[in-house]
Structure 1
Amino acid sequence: MSSTTARAPRHDGWPAMKGDQPNGRTIALLLLPGVGLLALLFGIPLVSGIFGSFGLGMGAGRNAGPTLASYAKVFGDPRYLAGLRTTLYYGAMAVLVDLVVAIPLALALGRSFVGRKLFNGLYKIPLAVPGIVVAFAMLTLLEQGGFLSRVLHLVGLSLPRLVRDPWGIGVIAAMAWKDIPFMTLIIVGSFAAVPEELLHAARAFGASPLRAFLKVRLPLAMPGITAAILLSFIRSTGSFVIPDVLGASYPLPLSVLMYQAFRDSNWPLVYAIGTVLMLASFLILLSYYFLTARIVAPAGGGGR
């Protein structure tokens, strides 16, 4: 006698599913609105920009055929090469400052202390402050004759040049102030995902708190930390207002040079600079996946 039972048909309006799992057609239908919107709002402009960097699709009377003139300018003109170096320098230094502050801050937020809830809200305030406000606030604070300079003058001290200086200290400080809460949020979650039992086991085997952090918590949290580094680096290299207000007149980062090309209506150059910035971000993304794979793979194969 057969013991098979028939599954009752569904009458809730959802497509029929085999074994309560959606089939390929159902998944495609569910993904279509989101993927279609991304293709419309991101994919098409992106492809158009890449073609435009080669002088294609610029409209009637402006389409001179494929050309590498804009890329030759970006990689051949000393002004743009210096801009590329400055862009990478700003991004790397801002990320370094972010890490130095965000990791201890994330560790502190993982503990209980008086006023923790209040502090947990206060440190996120920079996330809500527009970049242009941050730029002019830093200008008022750090420039010669600004607030900090006048305070130091009262005690007979002078403030070194921190705005429009050759090292971009004001730019890096403003970028870091803006991005530290963003990086901290990610790292707090990464540290919280590390099981406390592993840390207790390390301490039970004689590891000091510092060694337990360096050998257990930090390696297990590295995928999240590298993601925070990646996102902060992309945000910093794409920043325009902060380096334009606080940076030196030369060399200018690519984001500012891109805006200048836009004001001159040099669209192929605008698209070429944007493509270079996008490729730099893509290389960083590949490095992130490579580093994450190397970090996760040993952990995944440890029990074999």
Structure 2
Amino acid sequence: MRILPHRRTLQLLLLLAPGIGYLLFFFGAPLLSALVGSFRMEDGSFTLNWYQRIFTRPSMLRGLSTSIYYGIIPVLLSLTLSVPLSLLLRRSFFGRKLFSGLYKLPMAVPSIIVGLMVIVVFERGGFFDRLLAPLGFTLPKLVRDEWGLGVIMAGAWKQVPFMTLIITSAFAAIPEDIRHAARTLGASRLSTFLSVDIPLAMPGITAAILLTFIGSMGSYAIPDIVGPATARPLSVLMVQEFKQGRFEQVYAMGMVLSLFAVAVLLVYYGLTSRIGNGSLKGAA
């Protein structure tokens, strides 16, 4: 029996309705409410003052730049560690199963615990500082320092397993025949990795970068615990504004962070589409 086009469309909409309804109710409605709230004064009138404060107040501007800084630097550090780790996990070695389970443990540790661990281990007078003291060395300031090194270390420690898991899957999805063909044609291991593995795994790599960047930029617990008091990211400033009852300001700050996340998402889709088109042209 042939199904009419309009009936097929109706069936498709009915199948998609639960998922779309869930997204609209639990994601779209709160986001729309926050967007409307970010343009309202306490008396309900329209205003741009909350956004103006973000882009004119020095503390807010520094908070925005700090959020971007904490979003980019830990991701770059995690990427430089995750790619070699993913290549290592592709090989067979003694204790590989145990290692592949242990490296994922940081994903199960809450961020607040990670922050406290950094204080205990890297704070002056902490574990490493006392360990180096008999040798005549002093650990540099790594906690609450101006450059946020403690935040970067803690963020990378949390992100490396997650990023490695995604990148390892991306490398594993590449057929071995392609690598063997490149080696047969005279390509070295390094050139095969750069010209075959990296381009084919790039969608997975960019997805890992995207997800970790968004999570790192919006992180609250780690920057609040081990970050410098003079440079607070927007996520920490949002909580401070919330405690003071300025909910409209919180909405505006959340919208700015969301805007940056959407911008990164658009860049991701543009990059992956270019890679896909380039791969298709190369295959043709």
- Inter-partner Cα distance in structure 2 for 1:120 and 1:242: 26
* Match in the other structure for 1:195: 175
Three-state SS of the structure 2 residue aligned to 1:165 is coil
Q: Which of 74, 79, 95 lines up with 2:75 in the alignment?
A: 95
* Match in the other structure for 2:45: 65
Aligned residues: 282
| Superposition map of 1:98-113 within 5 A | 98-113=78-93
As a proportion of its length, which structure holds more helix?
A: 2
- Inter-partner Cα distance in structure 2 for 1:176 and 1:127: 11
1:280 aligns to 2:260 (yes or no): yes
- The worse-fitting range, judged by mean Cα deviation, of 234-243 and 33-42 is 33-42
* Match in the other structure for 1:14: none
* Match in the other structure for 1:251: 231
1:54 aligns to 2:48 (yes or no): no
Three-state SS of the structure 2 residue aligned to 1:145 is coil
Three-state SS of the structure 2 residue aligned to 1:248 is coil
| Superposition map of 1:224-235 within 5 A | 224-235=204-215
Three-state SS of the structure 2 residue aligned to 1:302 is helix
| Superposition map of 1:1-304 within 5 A | 18=3, 23-55=8-40, 62-304=42-284
Q: Where does the alignment leave 5 or more consecutive residues of structure 2 unmatched?
A: none
- Inter-partner Cα distance in structure 2 for 1:23 and 1:298: 35
Three-state SS of the structure 1 residue aligned to 2:174 is coil
- Which residue type is aligned with residue 216 of structure 1? V
Q: Which has the larger radius of gyration?
A: 1
Three-state SS of the structure 1 residue aligned to 2:230 is coil
- State the 1:63 CA deviation: 3.0
Task: Give a deviation string over 1:244-288, Cα, whole Å, max 9, x none.
Answer: 000000111010011110111101110000000000000000000
- Which residue type is aligned with residue 292 of structure 1? T
- Inter-partner Cα distance in structure 2 for 1:71 and 1:277: 12
- State the 1:18 CA deviation: 4.2
- The worse-fitting range, judged by mean Cα deviation, of 22-31 and 194-203 is 22-31
- State the 1:241 CA deviation: 0.4
Task: Give a deviation string over 1:175-195, Cα, whole Å, max 9, x none.
Answer: 010111110111011101111
- Inter-partner Cα distance in structure 2 for 1:113 and 1:296: 34
- State the 1:302 CA deviation: 2.7
* Match in the other structure for 1:13: none
- Inter-partner Cα distance in structure 1 for 2:95 and 2:11: 49
Q: Where does the alignment leave 5 or more consecutive residues of structure 1 unmatched?
A: 1-6, 8-16, 57-61
- Which residue type is aligned with residue 35 of structure 1? I
Q: Which has the higher contact order (CA 8 A, sep 6+)?
A: 2
Q: Report percent identity of matched pairs.
A: 51
- Inter-partner Cα distance in structure 1 for 2:275 and 2:282: 12
- Inter-partner Cα distance in structure 2 for 1:154 and 1:31: 66
Task: Give a deviation string over 1:180-216, Cα, whole Å, max 9, x none.
Answer: 1110111011101111111111111221111110111
- Which residue type is aligned with residue 49 of structure 1? A
- Inter-partner Cα distance in structure 2 for 1:42 and 1:298: 34
TM-score, length-scaled by structure 2: 0.96
TM-score, length-scaled by structure 1: 0.90
- Inter-partner Cα distance in structure 2 for 1:127 and 1:29: 37
Structure 1: which 4+ aligned runs deviate by more than 4 Å? none
- Inter-partner Cα distance in structure 2 for 1:178 and 1:268: 32
